[in-house]
Amino acid sequence: MIISTSGKTILLGASLLASILSFGASAQSLHAKIGAYPGTKTTVTGAVTVNFDQQDLTVKYNLKGLNPVRNGGLHIHVGTSCKNADKVGGHYFAPKSMGDYWKSGQWVSDTKGRAKGSFRLVSGLAYKANIGHAIVVHNASGARIGCGILEK
């Protein structure tokens, strides 16, 4: 394929620009500031960003106050509150018949109890469906220790 005329060069430029713009529109992210899980004292603080490419999620975490050299769960939950433990609910994914996509969602801490990293998973739910949902930090035993609300 040889581009020999200036007309074709302009067309190629326009389609490249269109593909860059559509990529920008499909990559969306939500952010949560992590604090105490309702009914517990604050042990973990930090931030989580979730990038969405349709139903393909990249969860980026930067947490501190965890037990050193451990790993634990980090999941988006059904609830939309970090103030009432009764309203946080279980893991948020669809369809239910697919089983729990969030089983693989984990943070990993260093010797100082800090955890910085990311993981990818498919939850079956895209950007809009996740706005306002709680993201929960579990300790190594599975107990809920941190919570934040996903916001634009």
Among 121, 136, 147, 150, binds Cu ion (CB under 5 A): 136
Using only C-alpha atoms, the chain has a radius of gyration, in whole angstroms, of 19
Query: By CB under 5 A, is residue 75 in contact with Cu ion?
Result: yes
Q: How far apart are the C-alpha atoms of 117 and 150, rounded to whole Å?
A: 18
Q: How far apart are the C-alpha atoms of 48 and 105, rounded to whole Å?
A: 13
Rounded to the nearest whole angstrom, what is the least distance from the CB of residue 5 to Cu ion in the complex? 58
Query: By CB under 5 A, is residue 135 in contact with Cu ion?
Result: no
The residue range among 11-19, 30-38, 71-79, 106-114 that interacts with Cu ion, by the rule CB under 5 A, is 71-79
Q: Return the number of the residue (14 or 100) whose C-beta is nearest Cu ion.
A: 100
Q: Return the number of the residue (44 or 136) whose C-beta is nearest Cu ion.
A: 136
Work out whether the CA dihedral 93, 94, 100, 102 comes out positive or negative. negative
Q: How far apart are the C-alpha atoms of 38 and 134, rounded to whole Å?
A: 11
Measured at CB, which residue is nearest to Cu ion?
Answer: 75
Q: How far is CA 105 from CA 59, 74, 125, in A?
A: 8, 5, 15
Q: Give 36: exposed, middle or buried? Use CB within 10 Å, 0-12, 13-18, 19+.
A: middle
Helix (H, G, I), strand (E, B) or coil at 94: coil
The residue range among 23-31, 53-61, 110-118, 130-138 that interacts with Cu ion, by the rule CB under 5 A, is 130-138
Number of residues that bind Cu ion (CB under 5 A): 3
Rounded to the nearest whole angstrom, what is the least distance from the CB of residue 29 to Cu ion in the complex? 20
The residue range among 13-21, 24-32, 119-127, 133-141 that interacts with Cu ion, by the rule CB under 5 A, is 133-141
Rounded to the nearest whole angstrom, what is the least distance from the CB of residue 136 to Cu ion in the complex? 4
Which residues contribute to the site for Cu ion (CB under 5 A)? 73, 75, 136
